[in-house]
Structure 1
Amino acid sequence: MTKAKSGSVAPELDTPTDLPPQSVEKISTALNGLLADSFALYLKTKNFHWHISGRHFRDYHLLLDEQSAQILATTDDLAERVRKVGGTTLRSIGHISKLQSIQDNNDDYVPPREMLRELMNDNKKVAAAMRKAHEIVDECKDAASAGLLENFIDETEKRTWFLFEATRQEGANEA
């Protein structure tokens, strides 16, 4: 087994690319941060899905299951994009915890509305991070990563919108 020096890619994993090494590093760093946040948001969404309670249980339970599946679906695309440009990606839960910016929630009980609000804010944070990553991949002339991120930003904004609407108080903003 060949072991690469820290910060370099093992020869067996050195994917050919026309991108300069500095661009590969910038893109990989940005996408790996998003990947870590995707895993953190996925697990938090599943946690809340498993522990939701109350009169809107069924609706919220199904909403969070749908959203967690959508978040998980982004992880393979993000990781494979890192590999396609010649970088390496996450290898463990420990690696995720070092890179994630989404805070875990280990509380024994969180009221349903607070769960949805927390997820809404986390999704907003992810969308903002995706926009920053988009700037980086644009700067590096990586159109494929930019296109991927554009779709993921749209999906993240939709999740944010749905969570916002689910947390509105009855009668709020209604004539």
Structure 2
Amino acid sequence: MSNFTHINKKGNPKMVNVSDKKITKRTAIAKATMFLGKEVISNFSDNELTTKKGSVFQTAIIAGIQAVKKTSELIPMCHPLLINGVDIDIKIIDSENIEVFCEVTIEGKTGVEMEALTGANITCLTIYDMCKSISKKMVIKEVKLVEKTGGKSDIKIPS
């Protein structure tokens, strides 16, 4: 259990103490791939679909940004963070699928991987919610971290 930073010597959960860490610029980028299907994507025009609930991608981006800011309320061991920036991009990649990229930046003592992953997930869930009247066959296929900078290490995972 010694490799798990969120477990103390007694085996109980703990929040990592970051007080001795240096403040550095930290970024994380998460990518989500989602199957919408031709039935949904055929309704898009100029990379957007407006429904009775509003603009799908614009609403999903706002939901993703809100999710990034609320990550510590959703995931118990995440630290509340002062987020410097969030950038979410949604791309239709073919006649059935989209990609969502969520980039989060802070200057702080802990990383923002969980915030980027949460933002990407909630963006997809919002798209699902707004398009489910057209089709319930949509699938969030993959959500993964593709890049992290700052702190102890930088990583880039091929997407």
| Same fold? TM cut 0.5 | no
Q: Of Structure 1 and Structure 2, which has the larger fraction of its residues in strand? A: 2
Q: Which has the higher contact order (CA 8 A, sep 6+)?
A: 2
Q: Of Structure 1 and Structure 2, which has the larger fraction of its residues in helix? A: 1
Q: TM-score, normalised by structure 1?
A: 0.28
